[in-house]
Amino acid sequence: MSLSPTVSSDLKNATPCTSVQVLAIGPWQEKEFRLALAPIEEATAWQTVSDLNQAEKNLQTGETTPELILLAQPLPGRYRQRHVDRLQSLAPLARIVIVAGSWCEGGMRTGIQLTGVLRLYWHELAPWWKSAQTRVAAGLCPPWSLPADNPQAGRYLLGIGLLGIGLPCIKSKSPAFDSPVAINAKDFSVYESLSAAMEPLGIATLWVQPARRVDQKVSSGIWDGSQLDEKELQRLTDFCSQVRSHDATVVALLDYPRVEHVAQAQSAGASAVFGKPYVVDELLAALR
């Protein structure tokens, strides 16, 4: 499989889940899905098929016995409940994950939801995978091994991981957080919510207003934006330059990121791009 530029270059430094057998089904050659796979080093060893018929044949013959089945969904309605049920009957121990493209945004509110699956957007796949690696390295269950009681199962622990206090399995006292995390946000309330999520973990933060510079050593940086217009792009570029001078990485938070936004953020110096809402566990894993 030919993979394109990364969403998070730091992902390759994590301990890989090399023992996980993955079957990837669908149009993974499309740009946003290629971009989603690019940071995942193990993706080159995954079995990838373009359609459900071939996937069913492989499962019926025992050619593959996946622990994870990833369904690339570029448009709403590509997969029906009968497709999910058929795959699950052929691979009863596998967890099925829908990886939705940009055209599927809003589907959780307006579409008919599939049952028995986890759901990610394309830009969430790499952070989710990295967070899973962190959990496995810590001797914990990966998210796909936790009870599938809702489409976000394995991401929001006890339902409190969304834009708030999660339960990361990382060690906050590790050298990765020996200095404050710089948070560049126009609104104090945004800084406050991020800081509140990190405070119970012993992670110090520093509010960097857009007009101010990072004037002390930091461990990493979080930049908050919206649609990455020209002014925001310049603000992100300046912030990345300041944070990277401390050999630290920057994660950019955007509203509904598109492929072009990811490319622009990377060019500005960001190592990862997250959509809002985000999961604290995954955000912190990306900062390490």
Q: What is the pLDDT of residue 287?
A: 87
**How far is residue 93 from each of residues 65, 66, 96, 144, measured CA to CA in Å?**
9, 8, 10, 11
**Element (DSSP H or E) covering residue 109:** helix 107-110
Q: What structural domains and CATH numbers belong to the chain?
A: 9-155 (3.40.50.2300), 175-287 (3.40.50.2300)
CA distance 255 to 235: 16
All residues at 6 or more sequence positions from 61 whose CB lies less than 8 Å from its CB, including other chains: none
Q: What is the pLDDT of residue 18?
A: 57
CA distance 75 to 73: 6
All residues at 6 or more sequence positions from 59 whose CB lies less than 8 Å from its CB, including other chains: 23, 66, 87, 90, 91
Q: What is the pLDDT of residue 151?
A: 67
Nearest to 97 by CA among 128, 121, 70, 132: 70
CA distance 142 to 153: 11
Would you tell me the crossing angle of helices 280-287 and 125-137 to the nearest 10 degrees? 80
pLDDT tens track of the chain, all 288 residues? 433 333 443 333 444 565 789 999 999 999 999 999 998 988 888 999 999 999 999 999 988 899 999 999 999 989 999 999 999 999 999 999 999 999 888 765 556 788 889 999 999 999 899 888 888 887 888 888 887 776 677 675 433 333 333 444 444 445 568 899 999 999 999 999 999 989 888 899 999 998 899 989 999 999 999 989 999 999 999 999 999 999 999 999 999 899 999 999 999 999 999 998 888 888 888 887
